[in-house]
Structure formats: C-alpha cells, structure tokens
C-alpha cells in the first residue's frame, strides 16, 4: 500500500500529531471521537442483461454499461464504539453537509462536544451551517463540534476511509444503477456492521 502524503511541513506535523493524540484517548461518551468524510458514487447500469449467476461459477456481466449520473455518500464512524452512520445525497454542497451534521448530533444527545475528524474540503466548515440555517440554529449546531482537520493529502489519517474501503468491497465496486438501490444496499451493510459493533484497531501512534 502506498500513501501520497505530500509536503511534510510544520502544519502537516501539527495536524497529524493532533489526530494521532486524539485516537489514543480512552472512550468518553461526553466527548466521542467521530471520523467523517464523503465520496462520490457513480450510478452504472447494464445495457445488456448479465448472465444469471450459477452456483460455483463467477458472475459475468457485459463490458458495455450505461452511466446514470452520480450521487454522494456521506459517512461517519465512531471507531471505539463500532458505530457508523451514512446518508446518500444526489449532490454534495454545503446544504448536504449541514443536514448530515444535524442528523449526526441527534445520535449523541448526551455529548458535550463531538470531536470530529475531517478534511479541509471547502464545504467542511461551520460556514455551511450559517449559509443553510438561521444564525441561532447554526451557532447551536457549531457548538456541538470540536473540529480536528487532517493534514493536506493525508486522508489515511481519517479512519472513515477504512470504513469506505469495506463498503467498496461489499457493494460500491459493483454496478448499481439507481440511487435508491445504492441507498438500500448501503443501509443493509451498515446495519449489519453496526449490529456486530465492528470497531477499528488503529495502529499508528505519535511515536
């Protein structure tokens, strides 16, 4: 496996060590550590019906396909608790980010601050709240979060990428023609993984 980590400067080191220090903290329900990111999903349909699957044989499909547009998967995971939360949207704008965070805080009514690990995408900041919600609601929502940004070109520091990799192997690497179908498949996988409370054992430390 190879990672492109770009230029390692003082800001890179500061953010990296901040996140690595965060990951070794003991579980605290009042300050849960939650990793968030998003990824595009392309909706692909078959133009020729695939050959029906036969027992003991590899499934086959025609090389031709139809592009049905795209959508965006937003996801978050609490690694120490083994709980993940996902939503699929037709697009990714500040509105979708704000809506996702509104839903996320509902999962942590007891939390004083949600320690949120995320990247520096232009929609991933509190301005999304203020452009989408009334100022008082935006302020209240922002107060629920403590943001920890990953360094530039260091997505490997965000544990949600591990969860996205698992989702990719189970369904995102296949042809899925519609957003509704994608949502139902992701929902089923996420439920199964939540029921099993699959956690992430992080190996990297500051040392």
Predicted TM-score of the model (pTM): 0.84
Here the CATH number for the domain that contains residue 14 is 3.30.420.10
> Does residue 120 form part of some domain?
yes
* Residues in CB range of 167: below 8 A, 6 or more apart: 73, 75, 86, 186, 189, 190
For residue 75, the cross-strand partners are 37, 86
> Does residue 58 form part of some domain?
no
> Does residue 201 form part of some domain?
no
126: nearest Cα among 140, 138, 111, 144:
138
Tokens, residue 6: 């770009």
Q: What pLDDT score does 180 carry? A: 85
Q: What pLDDT score does 64 carry? A: 47
> Does residue 4 form part of some domain?
no
pLDDT, tens digit (0-9, with 9 covering 90-100), for 37-80: 998 887 755 444 555 665 665 555 544 446 657 788 999 999 99
> Does residue 204 form part of some domain?
no
Sheet holding 33-46, edge to edge: 83-89, 65-78, 33-46, 114-118, 145-149
> Does residue 202 form part of some domain?
no
* Residue with token string 């070109």: 153
Q: Do residues 4 and 156 make contact, with C-beta atoms less than 8 angstroms apart?
A: no
Q: What pLDDT score does 43 carry? A: 72
Q: What pLDDT score does 63 carry? A: 43
> Does residue 207 form part of some domain?
no
Domain span holding position 157: 10-47+64-195
> Does residue 203 form part of some domain?
no
Q: Do residues 92 and 123 make contact, with C-beta atoms less than 8 angstroms apart?
A: yes
Q: What pLDDT score does 21 carry? A: 96
Total count of domains within the chain: 1
The Cα 85–Cα 200 span in angstroms is: 15
Q: What pLDDT score does 1 carry? A: 42
- For each of the chain's 207 residues, which pLDDT tens digit applies? 445 555 789 999 999 999 999 999 999 999 999 999 998 887 755 444 555 665 665 555 544 446 657 788 999 999 999 999 999 999 889 999 999 999 999 999 999 999 999 999 999 999 999 999 999 999 999 999 999 999 988 889 999 999 999 988 876 666 677 888 888 888 999 999 999 999 999 999 898
């Amino acid at each position: 496996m190879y990672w492109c980590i770009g230029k390692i400067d003082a800001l890179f080191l500061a953010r990296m060590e901040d996140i690595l220090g965060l990951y070794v903290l003991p579980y605290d329900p009042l300050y849960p550590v939650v990793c968030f990111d998003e990824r595009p999903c392309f909706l692909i349909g078959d133009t020729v019906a695939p050959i029906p699957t036969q027992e003991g044989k590899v499934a086959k499909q025609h090389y031709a396909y139809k592009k049905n547009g795209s959508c965006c998967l937003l996801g978050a995971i609490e690694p120490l608790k083994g709980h993940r939360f996902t939503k699929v949207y037709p697009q990714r704008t500040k509105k979708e980010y704000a809506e996702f965070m509104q839903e996320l805080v509902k999962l942590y009514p007891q939390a004083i601050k949600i320690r949120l690990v995320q990247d520096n995408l232009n929609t991933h900041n509190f301005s999304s709240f203020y452009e989408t919600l009334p100022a008082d609601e935006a302020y209240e929502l922002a107060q629920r979060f403590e943001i920890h940004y990953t360094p530039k070109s260091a997505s490997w520091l965000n544990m949600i990428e591990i969860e996205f990799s698992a989702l990719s192997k189970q369904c995102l690497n296949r042809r899925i023609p519609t957003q509704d179908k994608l949502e139902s498949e992701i929902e089923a996988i996420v439920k199964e993984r939540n029921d099993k409370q699959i956690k992430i054992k992080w190996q990297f430390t500051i040392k």
